Amino acid sequence: MTLGRSAARSDGGTGEAARRIAVVLGTRPEIIKLAGIIDLLGDAAQVIHTGQHYDDTLSGTFFAEHDLKPPAVQLQVGGLRRGAQIGRAVTDLDELFAEEPPAAVVVQGDTNATVAGALAANAAGIPLVHVEAGLRSYDRAMPEEHNRVLVDHLADLCCAATAGNVANLAAEGIVDGVVVTGNTVVEAVQRQLPDAGQRRAALDRHGCTDGGYVLATVHRPENTDDPDHLAAILGALRTCGRPVVLPLHPRTRAAVGAHGLDHLLDGLGVIEPLGSGDFLSLAAHAALLVSDSGGVQEECTVLKRPLVVVRNSTERPESLDHFARLVEPDHLAAALRDVLAVGPDLLATLAGLPSPYGDGRASERIVTHLDALVGGARSGAR
Protein backbone atom coordinates (compact mmCIF):
# COMPACT_ATOMS: atom_id res chain seq x y z
CA MET A 1 0.00 0.00 0.00
CA THR A 2 1.34 3.42 -0.95
CA LEU A 3 0.35 6.42 1.12
CA GLY A 4 2.39 9.03 -0.69
CA ARG A 5 5.38 10.94 0.59
CA SER A 6 3.44 12.72 3.30
CA ALA A 7 1.85 9.81 5.16
CA ALA A 8 2.86 6.99 7.46
CA ARG A 9 0.69 4.42 9.19
CA SER A 10 1.05 2.27 12.29
CA ASP A 11 -2.08 0.09 12.27
CA GLY A 12 -0.44 -2.82 10.50
CA GLY A 13 -2.84 -2.81 7.54
CA THR A 14 -5.15 -5.41 9.08
CA GLY A 15 -7.79 -5.17 6.34
CA GLU A 16 -10.56 -4.52 8.87
CA ALA A 17 -11.24 -0.96 7.70
CA ALA A 18 -14.76 -1.84 6.56
CA ARG A 19 -15.65 -2.32 10.22
CA ARG A 20 -13.73 0.70 11.41
CA ILE A 21 -14.66 4.30 11.99
CA ALA A 22 -12.08 6.73 10.64
CA VAL A 23 -11.65 9.69 12.99
CA VAL A 24 -9.86 12.48 11.12
CA LEU A 25 -8.29 15.25 13.21
CA GLY A 26 -5.37 17.62 13.05
CA THR A 27 -5.30 20.01 16.01
CA ARG A 28 -5.15 20.05 19.78
CA PRO A 29 -8.85 21.03 20.26
CA GLU A 30 -9.94 18.15 18.04
CA ILE A 31 -7.97 15.67 20.11
CA ILE A 32 -9.54 17.02 23.29
CA LYS A 33 -13.10 17.04 21.97
CA LEU A 34 -12.93 13.69 20.17
CA ALA A 35 -11.17 11.80 22.98
CA GLY A 36 -14.42 10.59 24.54
CA ILE A 37 -15.75 9.35 21.20
CA ILE A 38 -12.48 7.59 20.38
CA ASP A 39 -12.53 5.94 23.78
CA LEU A 40 -16.09 4.70 23.31
CA LEU A 41 -15.29 3.37 19.84
CA GLY A 42 -12.39 1.40 21.26
CA ASP A 43 -10.56 -0.76 18.73
CA ALA A 44 -13.03 0.29 16.04
CA ALA A 45 -11.54 3.80 15.94
CA GLN A 46 -8.92 4.46 13.28
CA VAL A 47 -7.46 7.82 14.24
CA ILE A 48 -5.91 9.72 11.34
CA HIS A 49 -3.88 12.82 12.24
CA THR A 50 -3.29 15.20 9.35
CA GLY A 51 -0.38 16.91 11.10
CA GLN A 52 -1.95 20.38 10.99
CA HIS A 53 -0.65 20.89 14.53
CA TYR A 54 2.80 19.29 14.39
CA ASP A 55 4.42 20.93 17.42
CA ASP A 56 4.47 18.28 20.17
CA THR A 57 3.16 20.81 22.72
CA LEU A 58 0.06 21.27 20.57
CA SER A 59 -0.52 17.68 19.52
CA GLY A 60 1.55 14.64 20.45
CA THR A 61 1.47 15.03 24.22
CA PHE A 62 -2.31 15.34 24.16
CA PHE A 63 -2.83 11.76 23.01
CA ALA A 64 -0.96 10.46 26.05
CA GLU A 65 -2.66 12.94 28.36
CA HIS A 66 -6.07 11.72 27.21
CA ASP A 67 -5.05 8.05 27.47
CA LEU A 68 -5.28 7.58 23.72
CA LYS A 69 -3.07 5.43 21.51
CA PRO A 70 -0.92 7.28 18.97
CA PRO A 71 -2.71 7.89 15.67
CA ALA A 72 -3.01 4.87 13.40
CA VAL A 73 -2.08 7.11 10.47
CA GLN A 74 0.05 10.24 10.62
CA LEU A 75 0.03 12.64 7.67
CA GLN A 76 2.47 15.52 7.25
CA VAL A 77 0.61 18.64 6.14
CA GLY A 78 1.85 20.95 8.88
CA GLY A 79 3.46 24.23 7.84
CA LEU A 80 1.71 24.40 4.47
CA ARG A 81 -0.66 27.18 3.44
CA ARG A 82 -4.35 26.57 4.06
CA GLY A 83 -5.16 25.48 0.51
CA ALA A 84 -2.09 23.26 0.31
CA GLN A 85 -2.89 21.68 3.68
CA ILE A 86 -6.41 20.81 2.62
CA GLY A 87 -5.35 19.61 -0.82
CA ARG A 88 -2.53 17.40 0.46
CA ALA A 89 -4.70 15.91 3.19
CA VAL A 90 -7.57 15.20 0.78
CA THR A 91 -5.18 13.44 -1.60
CA ASP A 92 -3.70 11.25 1.14
CA LEU A 93 -7.07 10.48 2.70
CA ASP A 94 -8.56 9.64 -0.68
CA GLU A 95 -5.81 7.08 -1.19
CA LEU A 96 -6.38 5.59 2.25
CA PHE A 97 -10.15 5.37 1.82
CA ALA A 98 -9.87 3.89 -1.68
CA GLU A 99 -7.75 1.00 -0.47
CA GLU A 100 -9.59 0.34 2.82
CA PRO A 101 -12.92 2.18 3.05
CA PRO A 102 -14.07 2.63 6.66
CA ALA A 103 -17.70 2.29 7.68
CA ALA A 104 -17.88 6.03 8.38
CA VAL A 105 -15.69 9.10 8.77
CA VAL A 106 -15.96 11.34 11.85
CA VAL A 107 -14.72 14.93 11.82
CA GLN A 108 -15.07 17.65 14.43
CA GLY A 109 -15.41 21.41 14.29
CA ASP A 110 -14.07 23.61 11.52
CA THR A 111 -10.35 23.11 10.96
CA ASN A 112 -8.50 22.37 7.73
CA ALA A 113 -8.38 18.73 8.86
CA THR A 114 -12.16 18.79 9.27
CA VAL A 115 -12.86 19.97 5.75
CA ALA A 116 -10.23 17.63 4.29
CA GLY A 117 -11.78 14.63 6.02
CA ALA A 118 -15.23 15.67 4.85
CA LEU A 119 -14.21 16.14 1.21
CA ALA A 120 -12.36 12.81 1.12
CA ALA A 121 -15.31 10.98 2.68
CA ASN A 122 -17.73 12.57 0.24
CA ALA A 123 -15.54 11.72 -2.76
CA ALA A 124 -15.36 8.09 -1.64
CA GLY A 125 -19.07 7.81 -0.85
CA ILE A 126 -18.42 7.09 2.81
CA PRO A 127 -20.96 8.26 5.45
CA LEU A 128 -19.77 11.44 7.13
CA VAL A 129 -20.42 12.48 10.74
CA HIS A 130 -19.84 16.09 11.74
CA VAL A 131 -19.36 16.62 15.46
CA GLU A 132 -20.16 20.17 16.60
CA ALA A 133 -22.31 20.96 13.58
CA GLY A 134 -24.29 24.15 13.04
CA LEU A 135 -21.94 26.77 14.47
CA ARG A 136 -22.16 30.05 12.61
CA SER A 137 -20.41 33.39 13.09
CA TYR A 138 -21.75 34.85 9.82
CA ASP A 139 -18.28 36.37 9.42
CA ARG A 140 -16.95 35.43 5.99
CA ALA A 141 -13.53 36.82 6.87
CA MET A 142 -13.13 33.83 9.19
CA PRO A 143 -11.67 30.80 7.31
CA GLU A 144 -13.33 28.44 9.79
CA GLU A 145 -16.76 29.74 8.80
CA HIS A 146 -16.27 28.48 5.25
CA ASN A 147 -15.00 25.14 6.57
CA ARG A 148 -17.92 24.52 8.92
CA VAL A 149 -20.59 25.51 6.39
CA LEU A 150 -19.13 23.21 3.74
CA VAL A 151 -18.81 20.26 6.12
CA ASP A 152 -22.38 20.64 7.40
CA HIS A 153 -23.73 20.47 3.85
CA LEU A 154 -21.68 17.35 3.13
CA ALA A 155 -22.46 15.49 6.37
CA ASP A 156 -24.87 12.55 6.62
CA LEU A 157 -25.13 13.06 10.37
CA CYS A 158 -24.88 16.54 11.91
CA CYS A 159 -24.31 16.34 15.67
CA ALA A 160 -25.38 19.77 16.92
CA ALA A 161 -24.47 20.88 20.41
CA THR A 162 -27.40 23.24 21.00
CA ALA A 163 -30.87 24.08 19.77
CA GLY A 164 -29.42 27.28 18.32
CA ASN A 165 -27.05 25.23 16.19
CA VAL A 166 -30.01 23.19 14.93
CA ALA A 167 -31.79 26.42 13.98
CA ASN A 168 -28.73 27.57 12.05
CA LEU A 169 -28.75 24.33 10.06
CA ALA A 170 -32.48 24.53 9.39
CA ALA A 171 -32.07 28.07 8.05
CA GLU A 172 -29.79 26.59 5.38
CA GLY A 173 -32.15 23.75 4.57
CA ILE A 174 -30.28 21.10 6.55
CA VAL A 175 -32.95 19.22 8.50
CA ASP A 176 -32.39 15.52 7.78
CA GLY A 177 -29.76 13.72 9.82
CA VAL A 178 -29.59 16.47 12.46
CA VAL A 179 -29.46 15.50 16.15
CA VAL A 180 -28.89 17.49 19.34
CA THR A 181 -26.15 15.87 21.40
CA GLY A 182 -24.62 18.57 23.57
CA ASN A 183 -20.95 19.44 23.20
CA THR A 184 -18.22 16.94 24.02
CA VAL A 185 -16.26 19.74 25.69
CA VAL A 186 -18.35 19.27 28.84
CA GLU A 187 -17.23 15.71 29.49
CA ALA A 188 -13.71 16.57 28.31
CA VAL A 189 -13.42 19.21 31.03
CA GLN A 190 -15.03 16.98 33.63
CA ARG A 191 -12.66 14.15 32.76
CA GLN A 192 -9.48 16.19 32.54
CA LEU A 193 -9.93 18.67 35.41
CA PRO A 194 -7.43 17.64 38.11
CA ASP A 195 -8.55 17.23 41.70
CA ALA A 196 -8.19 20.02 44.24
CA GLY A 197 -4.75 18.94 45.41
CA GLN A 198 -3.37 18.69 41.91
CA ARG A 199 -4.83 22.08 41.03
CA ARG A 200 -3.17 23.66 44.06
CA ALA A 201 0.13 22.12 43.00
CA ALA A 202 -0.29 23.54 39.48
CA LEU A 203 -0.94 27.00 40.90
CA ASP A 204 2.15 26.71 43.06
CA ARG A 205 4.30 25.66 40.09
CA HIS A 206 3.25 28.74 38.18
CA GLY A 207 3.40 31.14 41.13
CA CYS A 208 -0.36 31.80 41.16
CA THR A 209 -2.81 32.38 43.98
CA ASP A 210 -6.47 31.39 43.81
CA GLY A 211 -8.44 34.19 42.13
CA GLY A 212 -5.43 36.47 41.96
CA TYR A 213 -4.42 36.39 38.29
CA VAL A 214 -5.60 36.58 34.68
CA LEU A 215 -5.06 33.63 32.31
CA ALA A 216 -4.77 34.63 28.65
CA THR A 217 -4.32 32.88 25.31
CA VAL A 218 -3.97 34.48 21.88
CA HIS A 219 -3.45 32.60 18.64
CA ARG A 220 -6.00 33.52 15.95
CA PRO A 221 -4.61 35.07 12.73
CA GLU A 222 -6.96 38.07 13.04
CA ASN A 223 -5.00 38.98 16.19
CA THR A 224 -1.50 37.65 15.51
CA ASP A 225 -1.20 38.79 11.90
CA ASP A 226 -2.25 42.37 12.66
CA PRO A 227 0.48 44.20 14.61
CA ASP A 228 -1.96 46.82 15.88
CA HIS A 229 -4.34 44.18 17.22
CA LEU A 230 -1.55 42.20 18.85
CA ALA A 231 -0.05 45.34 20.40
CA ALA A 232 -3.44 46.38 21.78
CA ILE A 233 -4.00 42.96 23.33
CA LEU A 234 -0.58 42.72 24.96
CA GLY A 235 -0.78 46.33 26.12
CA ALA A 236 -4.17 45.76 27.73
CA LEU A 237 -2.90 42.67 29.53
CA ARG A 238 0.13 44.56 30.85
CA THR A 239 -2.05 47.26 32.38
CA CYS A 240 -4.96 45.19 33.73
CA GLY A 241 -3.78 45.45 37.34
CA ARG A 242 -3.40 41.70 37.92
CA PRO A 243 -0.58 39.25 37.26
CA VAL A 244 -1.09 37.68 33.83
CA VAL A 245 -0.21 34.10 32.87
CA LEU A 246 0.26 33.89 29.10
CA PRO A 247 0.90 30.44 27.58
CA LEU A 248 2.36 31.59 24.27
CA HIS A 249 1.27 29.75 21.13
CA PRO A 250 4.15 29.22 18.64
CA ARG A 251 2.32 31.35 16.07
CA THR A 252 1.95 34.18 18.58
CA ARG A 253 5.57 33.98 19.67
CA ALA A 254 6.69 34.21 16.04
CA ALA A 255 4.32 37.13 15.39
CA VAL A 256 5.58 39.07 18.40
CA GLY A 257 9.11 38.84 17.05
CA ALA A 258 8.13 39.60 13.46
CA HIS A 259 6.19 42.72 14.51
CA GLY A 260 8.93 43.96 16.86
CA LEU A 261 6.66 43.72 19.91
CA ASP A 262 8.95 41.76 22.23
CA HIS A 263 9.02 44.65 24.70
CA LEU A 264 5.27 44.21 25.28
CA LEU A 265 5.92 40.79 26.81
CA ASP A 266 7.81 42.47 29.67
CA GLY A 267 5.86 42.10 32.88
CA LEU A 268 3.70 39.25 31.56
CA GLY A 269 4.04 35.69 32.81
CA VAL A 270 4.96 34.16 29.47
CA ILE A 271 5.16 30.36 29.54
CA GLU A 272 5.11 27.49 27.04
CA PRO A 273 1.73 26.08 25.91
CA LEU A 274 0.14 24.00 28.66
CA GLY A 275 -1.26 20.49 28.68
CA SER A 276 -4.94 20.02 29.38
CA GLY A 277 -4.56 19.35 33.10
CA ASP A 278 -2.43 22.39 33.87
CA PHE A 279 -4.47 24.69 31.65
CA LEU A 280 -7.75 23.64 33.25
CA SER A 281 -6.21 23.96 36.73
CA LEU A 282 -5.16 27.54 36.06
CA ALA A 283 -8.41 28.37 34.27
CA ALA A 284 -10.52 27.03 37.13
CA HIS A 285 -8.92 29.42 39.63
CA ALA A 286 -8.30 32.52 37.51
CA ALA A 287 -10.02 35.79 38.32
CA LEU A 288 -10.62 36.19 34.60
CA LEU A 289 -9.89 34.40 31.32
CA VAL A 290 -8.92 36.31 28.18
CA SER A 291 -8.83 34.42 24.91
CA ASP A 292 -9.64 34.29 21.20
CA SER A 293 -10.11 30.51 21.39
CA GLY A 294 -13.42 28.89 20.56
CA GLY A 295 -12.77 26.05 22.97
CA VAL A 296 -12.14 28.38 25.90
CA GLN A 297 -15.51 30.00 25.20
CA GLU A 298 -17.06 26.60 25.96
CA GLU A 299 -14.73 25.55 28.77
CA CYS A 300 -15.42 28.69 30.79
CA THR A 301 -19.09 27.66 31.08
CA VAL A 302 -18.09 24.35 32.67
CA LEU A 303 -15.43 25.90 34.93
CA LYS A 304 -17.77 28.79 35.88
CA ARG A 305 -15.22 31.49 35.14
CA PRO A 306 -15.71 34.82 33.36
CA LEU A 307 -14.14 35.26 29.94
CA VAL A 308 -13.38 38.22 27.71
CA VAL A 309 -13.33 37.03 24.08
CA VAL A 310 -10.96 39.11 21.95
CA ARG A 311 -12.40 38.67 18.46
CA ASN A 312 -14.43 40.43 15.83
CA SER A 313 -17.18 37.79 15.94
CA THR A 314 -18.05 34.47 17.53
CA GLU A 315 -19.85 31.31 16.48
CA ARG A 316 -20.65 30.50 20.10
CA PRO A 317 -23.25 33.08 21.18
CA GLU A 318 -24.48 30.76 23.95
CA SER A 319 -21.41 31.67 26.02
CA LEU A 320 -22.20 35.36 25.70
CA ASP A 321 -25.51 35.02 27.56
CA HIS A 322 -23.79 34.90 30.96
CA PHE A 323 -20.18 33.74 30.91
CA ALA A 324 -18.37 35.71 28.23
CA ARG A 325 -18.09 39.19 26.76
CA LEU A 326 -17.04 39.79 23.15
CA VAL A 327 -14.74 42.76 22.46
CA GLU A 328 -12.37 43.91 19.74
CA PRO A 329 -8.70 44.42 20.67
CA ASP A 330 -8.96 48.21 20.96
CA HIS A 331 -11.64 47.84 23.64
CA LEU A 332 -9.96 45.08 25.61
CA ALA A 333 -8.38 47.28 28.29
CA ALA A 334 -11.72 48.79 29.30
CA ALA A 335 -13.41 45.39 29.29
CA LEU A 336 -10.76 43.92 31.59
CA ARG A 337 -11.23 46.75 34.07
CA ASP A 338 -15.02 46.35 34.00
CA VAL A 339 -15.08 42.59 34.54
CA LEU A 340 -12.36 42.55 37.20
CA ALA A 341 -14.18 45.28 39.11
CA VAL A 342 -17.18 42.96 39.64
CA GLY A 343 -14.91 40.34 41.16
CA PRO A 344 -16.32 37.77 43.62
CA ASP A 345 -19.94 38.74 42.97
CA LEU A 346 -19.63 37.66 39.33
CA LEU A 347 -17.95 34.40 40.31
CA ALA A 348 -20.77 33.64 42.73
CA THR A 349 -23.36 34.25 40.03
CA LEU A 350 -21.60 32.06 37.47
CA ALA A 351 -21.19 29.22 39.97
CA GLY A 352 -24.95 28.67 40.01
CA LEU A 353 -25.46 28.62 36.23
CA PRO A 354 -25.54 25.46 34.08
CA SER A 355 -23.39 25.19 30.98
CA PRO A 356 -25.41 25.80 27.80
CA TYR A 357 -23.42 22.99 26.16
CA GLY A 358 -25.08 20.03 27.82
CA ASP A 359 -24.85 17.48 30.57
CA GLY A 360 -21.60 15.67 29.79
CA ARG A 361 -23.08 12.80 27.75
CA ALA A 362 -22.49 14.13 24.24
CA SER A 363 -19.93 11.50 23.27
CA GLU A 364 -22.30 8.72 24.31
CA ARG A 365 -25.13 10.20 22.25
CA ILE A 366 -22.92 10.72 19.22
CA VAL A 367 -21.69 7.12 19.25
CA THR A 368 -25.28 5.88 19.60
CA HIS A 369 -26.33 7.86 16.52
CA LEU A 370 -23.20 6.75 14.70
CA ASP A 371 -24.11 3.13 15.39
CA ALA A 372 -27.53 3.69 13.89
CA LEU A 373 -26.02 5.38 10.83
CA VAL A 374 -23.64 2.55 9.99
CA GLY A 375 -25.96 -0.27 11.03
CA GLY A 376 -23.75 -1.72 13.71
CA ALA A 377 -20.69 -1.92 11.47
CA ARG A 378 -18.36 -1.02 14.33
CA SER A 379 -16.30 -3.66 16.06
CA GLY A 380 -14.35 -3.63 19.29
CA ALA A 381 -16.30 -0.86 21.01
CA ARG A 382 -15.79 -0.67 24.76
At 171, which amino acid appears?
A
How confident is the model at residue 14, as a pLDDT?
44
Looking at the fold, whether 74 and 111 belong to one and the same domain comes out as yes
Looking at the fold, whether 42 and 159 belong to one and the same domain comes out as yes
Looking at the fold, whether 180 and 199 belong to one and the same domain comes out as no
How confident is the model at residue 60, as a pLDDT?
56
Looking at the fold, whether 87 and 175 belong to one and the same domain comes out as yes
Instruction: Assess whether 130 carries a catalytic annotation.
Output: no
Contact 224, 310 (CB under 8 A): no
**Residue 381, in any domain of the structure:** no
Looking at the fold, whether 71 and 112 belong to one and the same domain comes out as yes
Looking at the fold, whether 145 and 226 belong to one and the same domain comes out as no
Other Cβ atoms less than 10 A from the Cβ of 96: the count is 26
Looking at the fold, whether 178 and 219 belong to one and the same domain comes out as no
Which domain CATH number covers 211?
A: 3.40.50.2000
Across the chain, mean pLDDT equals 91
**Residue 379, in any domain of the structure:** no
- Start-to-end CA distance of the chain, whole Å, equals 29
Count of domains for the chain: 2
pTM above 0.75, yes or no: yes
CA atoms within 13 A on the CB side of 37: 37
How confident is the model at residue 376, as a pLDDT?
58
Looking at the fold, whether 202 and 276 belong to one and the same domain comes out as yes
Using the predicted structure, report yes or no on whether residue 31 has a pLDDT greater than 90.
yes
How confident is the model at residue 78, as a pLDDT?
72
Which is the catalytic residue, given 219, 229, 249, 285? 219
Looking at the fold, whether 140 and 256 belong to one and the same domain comes out as no
CA distance 129 to 110: 13
Looking at the fold, whether 275 and 364 belong to one and the same domain comes out as no
Domain containing 244 equals 195-351
When pLDDT is cut at 50, 70 and 90, the band that residue 208 belongs to is very high
Nearest CA-CA partner of 55 in 270, 282, 275? 275
Looking at the fold, whether 208 and 81 belong to one and the same domain comes out as no
Looking at the fold, whether 232 and 293 belong to one and the same domain comes out as yes
pLDDT digits (tens, 9 = 90+) for 239-262: 999 999 999 999 899 999 999 999
